[in-house]
Chains A and B, each alone.
Chain A
């Protein structure tokens, strides 16, 4: 339901501090008379406060810095009114002129240092690479540009370094770690231009299909139309835990399952498939972008627990060793947003017999689907340390002062290849803000 226009205008005037005394009296009359309107009023004020909270977290200086990067003009200004458009156009012309003068020498002077190699590489650690176009057909290669961003190439890969803040990936997989101190890094593929907002992300380019997979591991990136397109509008903003496949003409689809080895790539393209072959869920929203991350051997102390949270890591129960039964099992990172869902189903395809473990917030009542198919191992794990957010509101700090959520570990043995479907983390009406469950799998 929406407010009628007059009521809506009244509430807006109140929210913005513009309401006259007479309007306040009118508002009071409606608030007294209409319980439903009271609820809507509280909702509007709640959103008002939340928006102010979110806006206060935004970092305005980044916008300013990025707008000065050669070749990047935030297209969000493109449709603004004349004054702003003229100002931004003037800035664009100035920036363009500057970039025309500086790009050639910048390209020539960009220092490309080899940080690490896999075996049998034609490169050596510490080598300064002279070529701007770098291809590898085996192994991996780690490069650092001008003491700033690092690129992890996974063969086969073909990358062109345009300058210290601008690369083009022609094919293959590249993981970029831009770091917190660098802003405005741009990565081009045939399908899209990615503008980094201080982050770590991976792309995988399939030139034959013209598609690019992009997976955000930390921070945030903007997805723009590819370089040379008639417009350069950012049409999507991705944050940690998001993954997309971008086809020609900006057609995008969710990339739901990702393998998170040294090469971060879609799960169905992993050369040596493990026990988990596919992870899907029943989320139908076409705009949903969250991904599950499969980490082979990833169940160990201090490994990340979720794809969406950079702080919460797996730990043994306080004062205990990490359970041997779980150590080295394949970890499936879920996304923490799902913790409140009561209709989620996660389906995991297994290539053969396996033990599957589900780690459930110990404060939660055990879901029926878990009671039916799984057995309580008696093992416990923790995640943390968490920020002081709702999920740890009633948690007592651990011995190190950090806040940790405890999990009970449930197990099911699956005797043949097939699909296992897990249910929602909570039941309808269940109160409280609890952690999303984790998943681990070990071949038997």
Chain B
């Protein structure tokens, strides 16, 4: 299976496809290394996105950085050797976040470098636990009352703006923000409970 066929087959990895689309354009051909890269990138995509997201203020910022991360990962993929792909990808992502931060030097909404380092170190350290949490989240989401589950998925759907969603459903943006905060906290509590009970990991 070549890389393009593989990407088409993995239809639910829309985000990876978007991020890697730029990489595919610069790839000279479809070879074994190419396929191996896409496989590793897709398998580790959620962890890398989580890592980047913890270091930048918004999801849009994270998407912007991820585009660059994907390109750099591919360009340097030949140098990885026997290294653990995820650990290596986190290192690349960290440098890309710092490069992105330099471009935003005047933006006071971006964390300072020492805080980025602290969070990046921790994110690397707990990446397996975060993978477990993401898996537990799928179960916890199903346990949510239907109305809350629908609401949170609508709020997180691609391109949705909370202000617009609030207007559509007849609520104030602030009440919606608060409900989403409560839902996230309930989900996190649920994932901790599942993980503590050994139901997931």
What does the 1/0 interface line of A28-44 toward B look like (CB < 8 Å)? 10011001001101111
Please give the number of chain B residues whose Cβ is less than 8 angstroms from any Cβ of chain A in the complex. Answer: 79
Residues of the B chain whose Cβ atoms lie less than 8 Å from the Cβ of A35: 122
Contact (A45, B170) CB under 8 Å given A38-B119, A51-B137: no
Contact (A58, B184) CB under 8 Å given A31-B118, A46-B50, A340-B132: no
A342 at the interface (CB under 8 A from B): yes
Asked whether, in the complex, the Cβ of B54 is within 8 Å of the Cβ of A41, the reply is yes
B34 at the interface (CB under 8 A from A): no
Closest CB in chain A relative to B195 CB, distance in Å:
9
Contact (A19, B157) CB under 8 Å given A235-B146, A237-B146, A341-B198: no
Docked complex Cα distance between A337 and B152 (Å): 24
Closest CB in chain A relative to B110 CB, distance in Å:
8
The 6 A-B pairs at the shortest CB distance, nearest first, are namely: A83-B170, A21-B108, A55-B156, A401-B1, A17-B58, A45-B54
A96 at the interface (CB under 8 A from B): no
Please give the number of chain A residues whose Cβ is less than 8 angstroms from any Cβ of chain B in the complex. Answer: 73
Asked whether, in the complex, the Cβ of A50 is within 8 Å of the Cβ of B46, the reply is yes
Spot the interface stretch: A73-81, A319-327, A357-365.
A73-81
Asked whether, in the complex, the Cβ of A24 is within 8 Å of the Cβ of B133, the reply is no
B14 contact from A3, A14, A57, Cβ within 8 A = A57
Q: Which residues of A contact B (CB under 8 A)?
A: 2-3, 8-9, 12, 14-21, 24-25, 28, 31-32, 35, 38-39, 41-58, 60, 75-76, 79-84, 233-235, 237, 239, 283, 285, 287, 337, 340-343, 387-390, 392-393, 397, 401-403, 431, 433
Asked whether, in the complex, the Cβ of A47 is within 8 Å of the Cβ of B191, the reply is yes
Residues of the B chain whose Cβ atoms lie less than 8 Å from the Cβ of A51: 137, 141, 152-153, 156, 184, 187
Asked whether, in the complex, the Cβ of A45 is within 8 Å of the Cβ of B53, the reply is yes
Residues of the B chain whose Cβ atoms lie less than 8 Å from the Cβ of A233: 146
Residues of the A chain whose Cβ atoms lie less than 8 Å from the Cβ of B155: 55
Considering the complex, which residues of chain B in the window 162-195 have a beta carbon less than 8 Å from any beta carbon of chain A? 162, 168-171, 177, 180-181, 184-185, 187-189, 191
Residues of the A chain whose Cβ atoms lie less than 8 Å from the Cβ of B1: 397, 401-402
A38 contact from B118, B128, B137, Cβ within 8 A = B118
| 7 cross-chain CB contacts under 8 A | A2-B185, A17-B58, A39-B126, A52-B158, A60-B157, A83-B170, A390-B43
Asked whether, in the complex, the Cβ of B130 is within 8 Å of the Cβ of A32, the reply is no
Residues of the A chain whose Cβ atoms lie less than 8 Å from the Cβ of B68: none
B133 contact from A14, A19, A46, A54, Cβ within 8 A = A46
Which residue of chain A has the shortest Cβ distance to B52 in the bound complex? A49
Docked complex Cα distance between A388 and B12 (Å): 11
Contact (A47, B43) CB under 8 Å given A42-B130, A340-B200: no
Docked complex Cα distance between A342 and B170 (Å): 46
Q: Which residues of B contact A (CB under 8 A)?
A: 1, 6, 9-10, 12, 14-15, 35, 38-40, 42-44, 46, 49-50, 53-54, 57-60, 62, 108-112, 114-115, 118-119, 122-123, 126, 128, 130-135, 137-139, 141-143, 146-147, 149-150, 152-158, 162, 168-171, 177, 180-181, 184-185, 187-189, 191, 197-201
Closest CB in chain A relative to B160 CB, distance in Å:
8
Docked complex Cα distance between A42 and B55 (Å): 9
Given contacts A41-B54, A234-B146, 6 further A-B contacts (CB under 8 A): A16-B162, A47-B187, A55-B155, A80-B170, A84-B170, A397-B1
Query: Does more than half of chain A's interface fall in helix, strand or loop, or is it mixed?
Result: helix
Residues of the B chain whose Cβ atoms lie less than 8 Å from the Cβ of A21: 108-109
Contact (A38, B122) CB under 8 Å given A47-B188, A341-B198: yes
Docked complex Cα distance between A83 and B44 (Å): 42
Contact (A239, B39) CB under 8 Å given A52-B156, A76-B150: no
Closest CB in chain A relative to B12 CB, distance in Å:
5
Residues of the A chain whose Cβ atoms lie less than 8 Å from the Cβ of B126: 39, 42
Asked whether, in the complex, the Cβ of A16 is within 8 Å of the Cβ of B177, the reply is yes
Asked whether, in the complex, the Cβ of B169 is within 8 Å of the Cβ of A84, the reply is yes
B184 contact from A12, A17, A31, Cβ within 8 A = A12
Closest CB in chain A relative to B143 CB, distance in Å:
6
Docked complex Cα distance between A2 and B185 (Å): 8
Closest CB in chain B relative to A230 CB, distance in Å:
17
Contact (A48, B59) CB under 8 Å given A24-B109, A42-B130, A390-B43: yes
